[in-house]
Amino acid sequence: MIRVENLTKTFGSLKAVDDITFQVDGGEIFAFLGPNGAGKTTTIKMLTTLLRPTGGRILLDGFDPWVKQREARQRFGIVFQDPSLDGEQTAYENMELHGILYHVPRKVRGERIEALLKQFELWERRGDTVKTFSGGMKRRLEIARGFLHTPKILFLDEPTLGLDPQSRNQLWSHVKTLNAAEKTTVFLTTHYMDEADRVAHRIAIMDHGKIVAIGTSAELRERTQTDSLEGAFLALTGTSLRDEAASSTDQMRRFAQMWQRR
């Protein structure tokens, strides 16, 4: 479903993503783990057509997102690390806007919005503007929105960041249910090892822009002779703290400021 070959992204002299190759099968839940600044978000951005790779090849359901951009975009949904809802519109309007942008036919759209909002327990609040929602509700709405156009692949970039254990638990059970019911391939990143362990079929661990290990949780534990995924993670990536590299947006911003001062 997802094929990545020799994918590379450099910002100046920094190699954010360094020649990675991996594959995710249809219907699989695939977790992408790594310390801060390992290159996870950069990889997701390249997979989701937000950032142009420096080198390498991507195929999403057979489509290269940089050649057949619209076909590729139609096939995936994404929940970003930071919210991407329109706070001034209601939950229902946010869903409707998404449905129209993703060409969901009117009849299906109404039914699906209702079903998803009910499933994510937001139906009662459908008429309220999103800015009045709590962090957990916004997250739920974003994930419901991500499923709206029945994507073949759903990207979740740290979807549970800042949520309480109840919300996290509930969120993953929704994702698992939908993964099973709709055969959606899920590609997720997270910092919570227990989540990856519980939800993902396979796990890739990334560090310094490279994939250092890939396999099921059991395989990773076996390989590192540890008894938990967290132990395996630390064995593979070391225990030193990382400073997160500036995001591409920060870099662009700095660039723009330099340009303005010239």
Positions in the binding site for other proteins (CB under 8 A)? 45, 48-52, 69-74, 78, 80, 82-89, 93, 96-98, 100-103, 248-249, 252-253, 256-257, 260
3-state helix, strand, coil in the chain (%, to 5): 45, 25, 30
Calculated CA dihedral for residues 12, 13, 19, 25, nearest 10 degrees? -50
Nearer to other proteins, 26 or 87 (CB): 87
Q: How far is the CB of 242 from other proteins (least distance, A)?
A: 22
Q: How far is the CB of 212 from other proteins (least distance, A)?
A: 27
**To the nearest whole angstrom, how small is the minimum distance from the Cβ of residue 99 to other proteins?**
9
Nearest distance in Å: CB 81, other proteins: 9
Q: Looking at beta carbons only, is 5 or 93 nearer to other proteins? A: 93
Nearer to other proteins, 58 or 220 (CB): 58
User: Under a CB-based contact definition with an 8 Å cutoff, are residues 31 and 206 in contact?
Assistant: no
- Residue 13 or 105: the one with the smaller Cβ distance to other proteins is 105
DSSP letter for each residue of 25-39: -TT-EEEEE--TTSS
**Minimal distance in Å, beta carbon 64 to other proteins?**
15
Nearest distance from residue 178's CB to other proteins, in Å?
Answer: 19
Locate all alpha helices (DSSP H) within the chain, ordered by sequence. 40-47, 69-75, 91-101, 106-119, 135-148, 165-182, 193-199, 217-224, 229-237, 248-261
How far apart, in Å, are the Cα atoms of 154 and each of 114, 169, 249?
20, 18, 23
52 versus 183: smaller Cβ distance to other proteins = 52
Side chain identity, residue 157:
D
Nearer to other proteins, 166 or 260 (CB): 260
- The owner of tokens 């060409």 is 103
- Return the closest-CA partner of residue 153 out of 136, 135, 175, 174: 175
